[in-house]
Amino acid sequence: MRFQIKDEKLIPQRFFTEDSYRITQIPEILQPPLNPDFPYSRELQQILAGKQLLLDDIPHPLDEIQSHYENGYITYRKGIDYIGKKPMCMRCGNKDQQLFAIFHCSRCGENCFYCRRCIMMGRISECTPLIGWNGPAPNITLPQKIMAWNGKLSEGQQVASDKVVEAIWQKKEWLVWAVCGAGKTEVLFAGIETALAAYKRICIATPRTDVVLELTPRLKEAFPEIRVASLYGGSTDRHLYAPLTIATTHQLLRFYQAFDAVILDEVDAFPYTVEESLQHAAIQARKPSSAMIYLTATPNEKWQRECRAGKRSFTTIPARFHRHPLPIPEFAWCGNWQKQLQKGRLPANVLRWIKDRLESGKQALVFFPHIPLMEKALPLLRKLDSRIEAVHAEDPERKEKVQKMRAKEVPLLLTTTILERGVTFPNIDVAVVGAEDLIFTESALVQIAGRAGRNKDYPDGVVTFFHFGKTDEMLKARKQIVTMNREGVKRGLIDI
């Protein structure tokens, strides 16, 4: 798209003209003053409030969008700007020159730079405006009773809950470092209620779609009369304006200064930890004065050091609500298990561990570092029980297999790290085959160990790391679990 400048306003041009410019070429984009008498579209208000969208994302004609801009209700921002001579994507923050490319653009009639990093959200190029809302925010109507949840928090949860409320009121950043199974979601309820009661807009963001799908019904049950938007790839709530939003971190790329509080769940999880664009999106989705709450069971080493040095505000929940300690992983050497697997057999102690669970009727998760190795083990184990299944990220039957495990139709489920978090089975033991593999970081191993012992009726699950040599990551994971148990005992949160 190209623009002419008339009376200090941008005028879109459908065709190339000599006196028109790509939006990136316009030094300063002036915002027309708000016309209070303009009959603005409530639908556009709902779609654009707190957003940064492309023209293709908006189901309204350009003439209507332009009339709202000229009356001050819609903003145009550059999709790509230049820092010196280098392009920067204003949506995802990309500055990596290798992630820009050039194409001949039919919309502006020139060769146009575009950002490859966030292209899955629609192409941003030098002639692309990001479109937002400058008018009044949509009205929010609150019920008399905002929260319907009447559960009781544990002592550890209550301390963290109070800190979340305080951080939201004071618009601070706060880390909740809570062990797996501590009940992080319930810790958020009072803070969410506080924000909603003050007509604040709040977002819970997480790197994974699975977690969005799990959290959505829980939040709707806790806040039954509050509109909740659930956003992930293919979601039908894409244009829903809601006071409470649950979204994947990828979906935050569409938001701009939208939320009074962002709660970032599983801040240590892939892909958030490795994609700078998602970290940029989380910051850009916040209002300039807002709260940011981080939730994790496994903060990275840098954050752990900052917590210990007093450089990061945080609260720990070192114990589960059922007041039992976290299962401590046992280390078991199993020799060159990959070599044995290539020869069509599993290490004797791994096989014995699995047979013991099958004979006792105790369900188990067995983690493998890589899909081909897991698939080699599957037929060997199916000789013991034909109901054994294997699952990985690309498995089209992934959800069905997990559901069969929940229904106790599967006695043993082999898995990659895809099930290291976000799933709960009431009574399982856990094994890792090849715990020395690089994929099993401290964070991954703590999360895997956290699958066991989560239920108050079955708090004593067994966790075994089978290895061909101990790694620092294995030792750090066990140390973190032991440290949390000690803190839980010291604070009177674990019964001994």
Distance, in Å, from the CA atom of 53 to the CA atom of 121, rounded to the nearest integer, reads 10
For 54, the token pair is 């492309």
DSSP 201-220: -EEEEES-HHHHHHHHHHHH
Distance, in Å, from the CA atom of 225 to the CA atom of 219, rounded to the nearest integer, reads 11
pLDDT for 120-168, tens place per residue? 999 999 999 999 999 999 999 999 999 999 999 999 999 999 999 999 9
Give the domain ranges of the chain. Answer: 2-133, 155-317, 330-478
Q: Which residue has the tokens 């009773």?
A: 145
Decide the pairing of beta strands 363-367 and 412-415: parallel
Q: Report helix, strand or coil for 57.
A: helix
Angle at 392 between CA 390 and CA 397, to 5 degrees: 75
Q: Which numeric CATH code is attached to 155-317?
A: 3.40.50.300
pLDDT for 288-305, tens place per residue? 999 999 999 888 888 889
Return the CATH architecture of domain 330-478: 3-Layer(aba) Sandwich (3.40)
**324 phi, psi to nearest 5 deg:** -105, 150
The residues, any chain, with a CB within 8 Å of residue 404's CB and separated by 6 or more, are: 389, 410
Distance, in Å, from the CA atom of 124 to the CA atom of 129, rounded to the nearest integer, reads 8
**356 phi, psi to nearest 5 deg:** -60, -40
Closest C-alpha to 326, from 444, 197, 462: 462
pLDDT for 348-365, tens place per residue? 999 999 999 999 999 999
pLDDT beyond 60 at 271? no
Q: Where are the beta strands (DSSP E) in 55-128?
A: 74-78, 80-83, 86-89, 100-104, 111-115
Q: How confident is the model at residue 276 (pLDDT cuts 50, 70, 90)?
A: confident
Q: Give the total residue count for the chain.
A: 496
Q: How confident is the model at residue 41 (pLDDT cuts 50, 70, 90)?
A: very high
Global confidence as pTM = 0.88
Decide the pairing of beta strands 129-133 and 74-78: antiparallel
Closest C-alpha to 102, from 89, 114, 94: 114
Rounded to whole angstroms, the maximal C-alpha distance in the chain is: 82
**261 phi, psi to nearest 5 deg:** -150, 130
Distance, in Å, from the CA atom of 135 to the CA atom of 35, rounded to the nearest integer, reads 9
Q: Which residue has the tokens 């973190």?
A: 480
CATH topology identical between 155-317 and 330-478: yes
Stretch 205-220: mean pLDDT, rounded?
89
